[in-house]
Every structure is written in C-alpha cells, then in structure tokens.
Structure 1
C-alpha cells in the first residue's frame, strides 16, 4: 500500500512540474492585414508586429508564404521575453483580381505554428475616392 501511495505521489509531482515548464509565446498586434485596392505591378509589404509574452526566448524556425508570389522576411535571432519583432510579407501584385494569402510561421512558441493572413485587390489603376 505504501508503495502505491509513493508512486501515486511521484506521478502527481511530475505532472505538476510538467505544467510549469516555461514557454515562448506570440502576442500579435494584428495577425491580419487588408491592403484594399493596390496597383498592378507595384509590390506591397505587410508588417506583422509581435511581442514575446512568454518566459523563454522565441525562435522562429521558418516563415513562408502560401505561394511563390509572396516573399517573407523574419527575425533569425531569438526574441527575448518582453522584446518585440516583426515579420514582413511582400506580395508582388502581378495578377489582376482579388487575393487572400497566408504566411505560416513555425517556431518554438506555445501552440506551434501560427498563420498570418493578408488580402486585397490588384487593379490596373488605383482610383482616389
């Protein structure tokens, strides 16, 4: 009986320690961006700003666009707790029409992958309203 109580206590202790493991965490200012109407042939860039609200450094392993029409720039160095960073997604705007694109961010943050999105409409000429 003592042996069972000992192992049960050990399991509970290990479970409570496992729940207090520090993590990194994204806090996005906004995970979406709407360009509205943009001119064909003029690349545009969305900046997604974040803060690491976790307790350990945030490391972005990779960030890639959903198609070849989107270039992504992201911090290669670790973002310390409380520090900010940004991911830039540049859309080439070559094809006319509406678009909805995403950027997949792979990191050590709580929850694993994060998805950012942007949209708009490519037109021949931007008309002032």
Structure 2
C-alpha cells in the first residue's frame, strides 16, 4: 500500500511540475530575435530594442536577461507585462574592441526552464577604418 501511495504521489508531483514548464513561445512573442548592427565605430556604444508581446492572457514576468559577455548589457522590464501588452529587452554593446562580434542575451521568463536567446552581431571598425567606410558609402550614395 505504501508503494502505491508513494508512486501516486510521485506521479502527481511530476504532472504538476510539467504543467508549469511551458515554452517561452507560449507566453511571449518577439518581433525579432536577431539584429545585425552592420559596421559600427569603435568606442561608440550601440543599443537595440527587442520588442516582445505577451501572447498569453496572464501577466508575464521577465526574471532576468543575462549576456554572453561583459561587453553586452541587457535591460528588461522590472514589472510584470500584462496579457496582450508589448514591452522590450534592450541589448547594449560597448564596441570597445575592433573586429566582428556575435553576442547572445539569454532572457529568462518566469515559469519557463529554457531561456529565449536574442542575438546581436556586427563589426567594430577602428576610427580611421570607419571613416573610410563612411566615405565609400557616401561615394556610392551620390552616384
């Protein structure tokens, strides 16, 4: 009898845990999950707003947003987002080091095990290389 009761209890607990483990896509819908800044100037920080909508009928809490490195700084809403409402996660990139970059922001939604991955990419150019890039762009634009 104890084995049956213990087994039944384990099944009920497992069902409750799995019932809460929704996918983030059932709760929030991002307009975009990737953004390419293209070529940017070294030392000039850039930001991008990843807009999302709460597609559920209940308020959604963004617990945290963490970046793959210290050069990327995410900010997220600190208050619950009501059902049907739109908000944003802002990904800031410091552009300190020249070269290509591909960074990830991991967004944790309350009640969901797997975080949503947002990606930013581009190429940081030294000031003189960026000036050349802009000059070339202007030449092409005036033709």
Report the TM range for the smaller structure's normalisation: 0.7 to 0.9
Q: CA RMSD for the aligned pairs?
A: 2.1
Q: Which residue pairs with 1:106 in the alignment? A: 108
Question: For structure 2, which runs of at least 5 residues remain unmatched after alignment?
Answer: 1-14, 138-143
Q: Hey, which of these two has a bigger chunk of strand by percent? A: 1
Q: Which residue pairs with 2:8 in the alignment? A: none
Q: Do the aligned partners of 1:65 and 1:71 also contact (CA within 8 Å) in 2?
A: yes
CA offsets 1:33-61 (integer angstroms, 9 cap, x no match): 00000000000001100000012111011
Q: Tell me which stretches of 4 or more aligned residues in structure 1 moved more than 3 Å.
A: 109-112
CA offsets 1:59-113 (integer angstroms, 9 cap, x no match): 0111011100011110000001100000001100000000000000011265641
Q: Which residue pairs with 1:10 in the alignment? A: none
Q: Do the aligned partners of 1:26 and 1:109 also contact (CA within 8 Å) in 2?
A: no
For 2:123 and 2:111, the matched residues in 1 are separated by 32
Change (3 A) 1:100 1:94: same
For 2:67 and 2:112, the matched residues in 1 are separated by 21
Q: Which residue pairs with 2:56 in the alignment? A: 54
Q: Do the aligned partners of 1:65 and 1:102 also contact (CA within 8 Å) in 2?
A: yes
Question: For structure 1, which runs of at least 5 residues remain unmatched after alignment?
Answer: 1-14
